[in-house]
A and B are shown apart, each in its own frame.
Chain A
Amino acid sequence: MAILEVVNVQYGFQDGENKRVILDNISAGFEKGKFHAILGDSGSGKTTFLSLISALDKPHGGQILFENKDINRDIGAEKYRRNHIGMVFQAYNLIPFMTAAENVRVAMSITENDLPADEASVAYNLLDHIGITRDKADRTVNKLSGGEQQRVAIARALSTNVDLILADEPTGNLNEEMEAEIVNILKNLAHEHDKCVVVVTHSKDIAAQADVIFKLKGGQFLDE
């Protein structure tokens, strides 16, 4: 059963006298325990799609339902982001003057989900589990490699104990070796930890490893 449903979503913008349609009445469902890939070329609207399902933007038509509740109308965008999703960005988007553990704890302090009281231990364990040692966890993030920073970003996304992980080109800035490791981590989250993982990518190699692929072209999902 889909934890996240996209129902007839439309999105576009006025470009001078022309109206550009980015997403044209698309629908999709995303389930727990599966690794989903949104595959598309540059300008296909895949990042726009991710911004809509992460409630960083609102659709111009249709609905986005999380556990059958509209994320914007019923839950509220801010609260949805705070309590129901974890996000991983291509550029990591970590807070540079904080350590890896502190970056993870920032997300833990913001969410209203029930978490263990010992915030620091949870952060260290999570980072360790994902391949960041205690020594590296106490370094400010700008002293870590790209792959390590992306692991920290994934740990941050997981730290709030959410079911839905959304990733925007998570390996875009990484070499092939690191790319494989990050993809493995995401697959593992879906398969071993029963998370619903949605990855936006232009890489057919990554998409090939997904359980479900949504190919976005011309504002619509093509049949796969």
Chain B
Amino acid sequence: MNFFKRATTSIVRRPGKTVILLLLVFILGTVIAGAISVEGAISNTDANLRRNMQPIVSIEMNHQDWANTLEGEYFDWITTFPPHPPALTVDHVRAIGALDYVGFYDYIIEGWLQSFDLSPYTADGRTGFGGMDGEPRSFTLRGTSTHELVQVEQGIMEVVQGRQFEESELVAGGDRSAIIVSEAFANYNNLALHSTITLYHFVMFPDEDGELWGWGTDWWADDNIYARVGMEFEIIGFYDIPLGPDVDENHQDYWDRVTHVSSTMYVPNWAIEDVDARREAALGSVWDAVDVEQPEWMTHGPEEAPERSVTPLFRLEDPTYLDDFRAAATPLLPDHHMLVDLSSTFDGISSSMATLQTISDWILYVSIGATLLILSLLITLFLRDRRYEMGVYLALGEKKGKIITQILMEVLVTSVVAITLSVFVGHLLSSQMSRAMLINQLQAEQSDDHWNRDWTIFDQIGIPTNQMSVDEMIDAFEVSLGIETVGLFYIIGLGAVVLSTLVPVVYVVTLNPKKVLM
């Protein structure tokens, strides 16, 4: 009849008290289990979302911060001009790209060129897209500094024919560059691999008012063109943007495709820089070739030309590196710039989950506090009821440590049963409730329609930002009974029970058997 047998006998022979303890621990345990389950679910969901999220980071100007620095200063834009904001240069990008967290980086220079001979592809077969007859069509050129386009590396588009850039093609030089165009554009314009196309900046003679811009067939007449600043491009590859089976015309992806296919071409950065530099030179010299006086406003401006900013793109080795990468990269940024990442598109669901997490945190803390208080009182009352029994053990010479162990075992055996039951019940209840709460919050936040979302720097460089539906977000909300969740619950639940037994144990330690028994 050792203390273990005494404990089990006590549990079995005093069913009323055992059931009361069991029910109490079960109820409190269910609340704790529910709160822990939600905590685990939020953690799981965050991991799921991060897995879905491309770990891509860029840098953009913090315009608000820049505006704040200029606040209170006055510029008339004739004699006084605001300073150029610090530029994000290739050197900045390379320094940040050298961090260990970065698996791949690129910087993108964007430009545009025109052609009278080529037409943009339109998915719906419309003609005249991008200009009237007799006018040149404009095409977006997106530069790269690497031999593997980030859009391809991220699976956003694929090279369906030909190849990407070779290292030698990325090095500046010559008057001919490689180019990758969309397959649809190539087909539309009857272009094959290794065809060459020439794209231009057309620098026009100014009109009598000094205007360099105009429209209509007359304006674009041959004799009105002062210079054709162009570059010849050899097509080395065709790309396509795979779309999901459920994409329709009302979906952003469709229009993204139209935009990309109709106007975007991929070239080395140097080609854009080269042709832009030559255009600037032509714009400077055109006034010497005409009798028109350059308008006064054109001659004003800051004395120093701004450095050319680039749009960088960093793909991290692992999505979980994001916080560490931010900490390491921030000191390397030029002033008034900030890091932006694709996770910012999850702000909506993040705030919903943060609300849920705050609620579950409070439930957890309050329920643990309630468990400690209520169980302490209950066990103390039970032990006061058993003071003669405790007195007998002490009078028989039982060691206090064994009596305490017996009490602990009685409480723990009952509690383990209650906690085991509450794991499943708490998990079931919390998964239903938390999912319902999350759906409500997400639906409220998704009321803004798709077209009203912010246009981000990632859209600008051809990396579509997240467009998860509420259903997809809910699918990512994973309330699972993992070993960690269950283990954490047992540790917290049994820990609370053990702590609750400490106060009653003091009662046993201070019990005087003489006073109880004689």
Contacts and interface: CB of A to CB of B under 8 A. Distances in A.
Contacts of A47: 518
B514 A81 contact: no
User: Most B CB atoms within 10 A — which of A57, A94, A96, A106?
Assistant: A106
User: Most A CB atoms within 10 A — which of B1, B3, B393, B395?
Assistant: B1
Contact of A109 (B1, B392, B514, B517): B1
A56 B395 contact: yes
A111 B395 CA distance: 12
B55 interface: no
Given A56-B518, A105-B1, A93 B391 contact: yes
Interface string B1-37: 1110110011001100000000000000000000000
A93 B10 contact: no
Given A102-B1, A119-B1, A91 B517 contact: yes
Contacts of B388: 93
Interface string B367-407: 00000000000000000000011011101111100000000
Given A105-B1, A106-B6, A107-B396, A97 B13 contact: yes
Nearest to B6: A106
Nearest to B398: A110
A162 to B, nearest CB: 10
A119 to B, nearest CB: 7
A168 B516 CA distance: 14
Nearest to A157: B396
Interface string B138-176: 000000000000000000000000000000000000000
A56 B514 CA distance: 6
B513 interface: yes
B389 to A, nearest CB: 5
B272 to A, nearest CB: 90
B317 to A, nearest CB: 62
A87 B395 contact: yes
Contacts, number: 65
User: Most B CB atoms within 10 A — which of A57, A81, A102, A109?
Assistant: A109
Nearest to A106: B1
A88 B215 CA distance: 118
Contacts of B396: 81-82, 87, 106-107, 110-111
A89 B397 contact: no
Given A93-B392, A97-B13, A79 B1 contact: no
Given A56-B513, A109-B1, A80 B397 contact: yes
A213 interface: no
Contacts of A95: 389, 392
B392 A94 contact: yes
Given A108-B1, A168-B518, A97 B10 contact: yes
Given A78-B397, A79-B397, A89 B517 contact: yes
A150 B198 CA distance: 115
A82 B514 contact: no
A183 interface: no
A83 interface: yes
A149 B391 CA distance: 17
A192 to B, nearest CB: 24
A165 to B, nearest CB: 14
Contacts of B2: 109
A51 B514 contact: yes
Given A47-B518, A91-B517, A97-B14, A78 B399 contact: yes
B397 A97 contact: no
User: Most B CB atoms within 10 A — which of A79, A82, A107, A110?
Assistant: A110
Contacts of A119: 1
A57 B514 CA distance: 7
A89 B518 contact: yes
A82 B397 contact: yes
A93 B395 contact: yes
A49 to B, nearest CB: 11
Interface string A28-69: 000000000000000000010011001011000000000000
A89 B515 CA distance: 13
A85 to B, nearest CB: 9
A140 interface: yes
A98 interface: yes
Interface in B473-518: 513-514, 517-518
Contacts of B1: 102, 105-106, 108-109, 119
A93 B3 CA distance: 18
Contacts of B397: 78-83, 110-111
Contacts of A80: 397
Nearest to A168: B518
A60 B399 CA distance: 24
Contacts of B393: 106, 110
8 contacts: A56-B518, A79-B397, A80-B397, A83-B397, A97-B9, A106-B396, A110-B393, A168-B518
What 6 A-B pairs come out closest when comparing CB atoms?
A82-B397, A81-B397, A105-B1, A97-B13, A56-B514, A109-B1
Interface of A: 47, 50-51, 54, 56-57, 78-83, 87, 89, 91, 93-98, 102, 105-111, 119, 140, 168
Given A93-B517, A119-B1, 18 more contacts: A47-B518, A54-B395, A56-B395, A57-B514, A87-B395, A89-B517, A89-B518, A93-B388, A93-B391, A93-B395, A94-B392, A98-B9, A102-B9, A106-B392, A110-B396, A110-B397, A111-B397, A140-B13
